[in-house]
């Protein structure tokens, strides 16, 4: 989705903190003892709290009518109770049963950040993603404040633990997304296509992920979409970057959402000084349809489709002399459709079937011409058994993909590529509860690519041990494979799968709305694609590499009233001998130290939410052809302090949010290395120019109106 529709959904997230009713009460065991640290929440919402040292809880919600109050706690049976919510405060006192053994007594967390509300390892919710300053409601931007990631400002994508951006795969409802980012050109950052509020659960795996998912050497971003829309809502947005309109209709057992947006940065670029010589700044149209139908009490059908067309034109550095400019235009069309059906069969089995279709077309014109079209279709089926002490899941999937490319040089020479692949995979995985303190998971994944005619067999193992009432240790090991990128296969389809092995050790403590986790890891890369300088046709799988490091994360939602903050730090040491690298070296996208602090605060009397994010990354290496050695150049350290604020009010009796955001508020002079000419000048030197953000700062102002809703605090 585009920036316009993504930010339109901010008004619904803010509403979670505004018009509300208070729920309070206590949770005790059947012997009368208070249950400490129980998760108390309204089912299918983001509203809840944990019980304190006396077993008491309190939280607010804007949900109304009949709801389900859910209570979960390690060592106890899950509890649910219907409640009727009105404008009056509600007090509930319950007793829950101890569980002799329980599969969910420990949760395997090695490598995974959970953001759903049904798991105990909750780290980020959709509202956290939207309200993180600096992220501008972009999932990738918010994930880059978590440990294990590194900010690569000229890319705007997710880079994990020494892995390139393409080594992280995005899955929506278990189905692969072929093009999760907007199309762009080198040095102009991309943005994710999806709004965080399309999803009820987010799992960001920095490694060691489930055997259900493949074709990702480094990590997997797993997004689970929302179920039925709870109410009928119409939204209008007016912004510095465009306009948006959306409508959601609740129809009882079904819901339908339709949205459209128009983006045009031309007025904005006239007001804010740019580091880019725009001829025609970014502009585009986009739309989305989301349909949900409850097929039974336990089944749901989900269908969504989106499409967008956008582009820009700019004066871009010439390859032979970067101090000269040539006009370059990019036009992109992207279409994505996804359908899935999930149903509980019998008492213990869950059946899932899904299909996805995507097509992405890029047309770049300059002194050269580059046209590419990538199409992918996927089908997937899984069956899951959930018992008291054991869970088993198995399934299979099939991908049909094609890649077409036509490249015409300025001399008129034409090169064409046409790659077609049939990829298939089967997997099986089991999780066993040895005791309430110990859980084990083992999986196996078998894959085959017809294009490269290669098989892979990938084992996955993990375990978790409960070390205390609120702490546990997790371990994970896995082998992961990924087909080489199309940009490499265009020269040689005789390549094999690239491979990485992950070893992870994790400690996590969660109590009283505070989370602390520390994780160490080691990654061993094998069979990476490499070639001698510019000898792409002679490429082979003799490349190798490693990455090791430590990640630290702390989040506190308790210590400051109406405040919420988290701190993350990552240490990374990595080197590779791959692609055209003449020696083993640190890739130019990896930084040794990464640090982030995120703070959000709700000011009740001003009905305003404010947020601050500070990010720091140590210098990255880049290759300077004017220096001896390889990868001897260094970028400056990256620093960013971003701010956002949301003021809630009514306009003509309609719920309204005024949203303001500023990235890089102090104006740090960030650079991301240099772009060099590919031929030397008369003196034998290669001219270079600094790679900078499109603008030193980014300002955003938006007015979001929800027609037919009022804010009760005004």
CA dist list (Å): 436 to 99, 385, 390, 644? 9, 19, 12, 43
Low-confidence ranges of the chain (pLDDT < 50): 1-18, 100-105, 114-122, 712-714
Question: What digits encode the pLDDT tens for the residues 642-666?
Answer: 999 989 888 887 788 898 999 999 9
In eight-state DSSP terms, residue 545 is E
Structure tokens at 583: 């020696």
**pLDDT for the residue numbered 75:** 63
Structure tokens at 8: 């339109």
What is the rounded distance in angstroms from the CA atom of residue 652 to the CA atom of residue 494?
Answer: 65
H or E segment and range at residue 566: strand 563-577
Report the C-alpha gap between 541 and 498 in whole angstroms. 7
SS3 375: strand
Asked if 475 and 507 touch (Cβ cutoff 8 Å), the reply is no
Query: Rg of the Cα trace of the chain?
Result: 25
Minimal CA–CA distance to 587: which of 628, 627, 546? 546
The tokens of 592 are what?
Answer: 């040794």
Quick one: pLDDT at residue 560?
Answer: 93
Distance (Å, whole) CA 241 – CA 249: 27
Residue 637 has what DSSP assignment? P
Q: Check: CB of residue 244 under 8 Å from CB of residue 5.
A: yes
Backbone φ and ψ of 141, nearest 5°:
-60, -40
**Other Cβ atoms within 10 Å of 339 Cβ, number:** 17
- The CA–CA distances, whole Å, from 218 to 159, 505, 518 equal 9, 16, 19
Nearest to 705 by CA among 667, 668, 655: 655
Q: For the chain, how many residues are written?
A: 714
| Closest residue by Cα to residue 544 from 509, 585, 506 | 585
Instruction: Give the number of other Cβ atoms within 10 Å of residue 551's Cβ.
Output: 24
Which 3 state secondary structure label does DSSP give 411? coil
Residue 550 makes CB contacts below 8 A (sequence gap 6+) with 518, 519, 520, 521, 570, 571
**Is 583 within 8 Å of 630 (Cβ atoms)?**
yes
Q: What is the pLDDT of residue 627?
A: 93
Q: What are phi and psi of 697, to 5 degrees?
A: -125, 155
DSSP assignment of 215-261 equals: S-SSEEEEEEE--S--S-EEEEEEETTEEEEEEEEE-SSEEEEEEEE
Beta strands in 387-413 (DSSP E): 390-408
Could you give the C-alpha distances from 115 to 21, 104, 202, 518, 616, in angstroms and in order?
24, 16, 5, 18, 24
Task: Record the tokens describing residue 502, joined without a space.
Answer: 């992950």
Question: Of 76, 71, 73, which is closest to residue 23 (Cα–Cα)?
Answer: 71
Distance (Å, rounded) from C-alpha 393 to C-alpha 622?
A: 44
Backbone angles phi, psi at 239, to 5 degrees: -140, 165
Which letter, b or e, does each residue of 312-329 get, where b requires 16 or more Cβ atoms within 10 Å of its Cβ? bbbebbbbeebeeeeebb
CA pair distance 547, 524, nearest whole angstrom: 7
Strand order through the sheet with 56-61: 56-61, 21-29, 90-96
Token representation of residue 266: 């031309």
* Helix segments in 555-646, DSSP class H: none
Entry pTM: 0.85
- Nearest 10 degrees: CA dihedral of 576, 580, 582, 583? 0
Q: Which residues, in sequence order, are bridge partners of residue 458?
A: 445
Retrieve residue 591's tokens: 């930084």
Are the C-beta atoms of 157 and 210 separated by less than 8 Å? no
DSSP string covering 135-204, please? TTT-HHHHHTTSTTB---TTT-S--BTT--GGGEEEEETTEE-S--B----TTS---BSS-GGGEEEEEE
In angstroms, how far is the first alpha carbon of the chain from the final one? 32
Q: What is the DSSP letter of 691?
A: -
Contact 399, 357 (CB under 8 A): no
Residue 700 CB contacts under 8 Å (≥ 6 apart), including other chains: 7, 136, 239, 240, 241, 659, 660, 661, 662
Domains, in order of start, for the chain:
3-8+109-707 (2.40.170.20), 10-103 (2.60.40.1120)
Alpha-carbon distance of 667 to 697, in angstroms, equals: 6
H/E run at residue 306: strand 300-317
């Amino acid at each position: 989705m585009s920036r316009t529709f993504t930010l339109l959904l901010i008004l619904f997230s803010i509403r979670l903190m505004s018009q509300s009713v208070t729920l309070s009460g206590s949770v005790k065991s059947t012997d009368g003892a208070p249950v400490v640290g129980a998760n108390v929440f309204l089912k299918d919402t983001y509203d809840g709290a944990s019980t304190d040292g006396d077993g008491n809880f309190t939280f607010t919600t804007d949900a109304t009518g009949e709801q389900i109050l859910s209570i979960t706690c390690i060592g106890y049976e899950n509890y649910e109770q219907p409640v009727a919510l009105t404008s009056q405060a509600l007090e509930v006192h319950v007793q829950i049963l101890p569980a002799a053994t329980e599969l969910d007594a420990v949760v395997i967390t090695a490598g995974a950040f959970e953001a759903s509300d049904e798991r105990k390892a909750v780290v980020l919710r959709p509202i956290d993603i939207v309200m993180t300053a600096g992220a501008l409601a972009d999932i990738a931007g918010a994930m880059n404040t978590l440990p294990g990631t590194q900010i690569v400002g000229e890319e705007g994508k997710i880079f994990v633990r020494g892995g390139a951006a393409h080594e992280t795969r995005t899955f929506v409802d278990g189905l692969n997304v072929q093009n999760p980012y907007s199309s762009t050109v080198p040095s102009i950052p991309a943005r994710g296509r999806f709004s965080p509020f399309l999803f009820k659960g987010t799992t960001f795996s920095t490694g060691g992920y489930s055997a259900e998912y493949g074709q990702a050497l480094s990590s997997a971003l797993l997004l689970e979409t929302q179920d039925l829309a709870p109410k009928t809502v119409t939204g209008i947005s007016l912004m510095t970057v465009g306009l948006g309109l959306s409508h959601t209709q609740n129809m009882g057992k079904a819901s339908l959402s339709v949205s459209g947006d128009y983006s045009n940065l031309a007025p904005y670029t006239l007001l804010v000084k740019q580091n880019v010589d725009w001829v025609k700044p970014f502009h585009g149209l986009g739309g989305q349809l989301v349909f949900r139908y409850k097929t039974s009490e336990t089944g749901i059908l989900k269908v969504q489709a989106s499409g967008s067309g956008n582009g820009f034109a700019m004066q871009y550095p010439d390859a032979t002399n970067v101090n000269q400019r040539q006009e370059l235009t990019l036009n992109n069309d992207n279409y994505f459709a996804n359908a899935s059906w999930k149903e509980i069969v019998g008492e213990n089995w869950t059946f899932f079937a899904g299909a996805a279709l995507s097509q992405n077309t890029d047309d770049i014109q300059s002194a050269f011409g580059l046209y590419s079209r990538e199409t992918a279709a996927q089908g997937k089926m899984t069956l899951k058994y959930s018992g008291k002490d054991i869970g088993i899941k198995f399934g299979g999937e099939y991908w049909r993909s094609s890649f077409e490319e036509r490249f015409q040089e300025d001399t008129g020479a034409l090169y064409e590529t046409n790659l077609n692949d049939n990829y298939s995979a089967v997997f099986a995985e089991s999780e066993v509860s040895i005791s309430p303190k110990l859980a084990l998971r083992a999986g196996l994944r078998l894959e085959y690519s017809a294009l490269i005619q290669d098989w892979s067999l990938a084992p996955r193992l993990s375990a978790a041990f409960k070390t205390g009432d609120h702490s546990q240790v997790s371990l994970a090991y896995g082998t992961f494979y990924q087909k080489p990128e199309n940009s490499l296969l265009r020269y040689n389809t005789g390549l094999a799968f690239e491979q990485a092995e992950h070893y992870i050790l994790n400690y996590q403590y969660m109590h009283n709305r505070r989370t602390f986790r520390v994780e160490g890891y080691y990654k061993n890369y094998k069979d990476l694609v490499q070639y001698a300088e510019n000898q792409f046709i002679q490429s082979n799988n003799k490349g190798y590499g490693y990455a090791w490091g430590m990640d630290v994360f702390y989040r506190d939602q308790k210590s400051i009233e109406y405040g919420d903050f988290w701190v993350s730090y990552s240490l990374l040491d990595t080197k590779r001998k791959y692609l055209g690298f003449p020696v083993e070296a640190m890739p130019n996208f990896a930084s040794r130290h990464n640090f982030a602090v995120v703070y959000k605060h709700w000011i009740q009397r001003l009905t305003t939410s404010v947020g601050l994010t500070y990010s720091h990354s140590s210098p990255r290496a880049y290759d300077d052809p004017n220096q001896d050695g390889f990868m001897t150049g260094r970028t400056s350290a990256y620093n960013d302090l971003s701010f956002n604020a949301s003021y809630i009010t009514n306009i003509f009796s309609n719920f309204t949010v005024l949203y303001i955001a500023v990235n890089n508020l102090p104006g740090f002079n960030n650079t991301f290395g240099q772009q060099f000419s590919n031929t030397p000048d008369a003196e034998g030197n290669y001219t270079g120019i600094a790679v900078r953000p499109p603008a030193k700062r980014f300002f955003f102002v938006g007015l979001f109106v929800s027609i037919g809703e009022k804010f009760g605090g005004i």
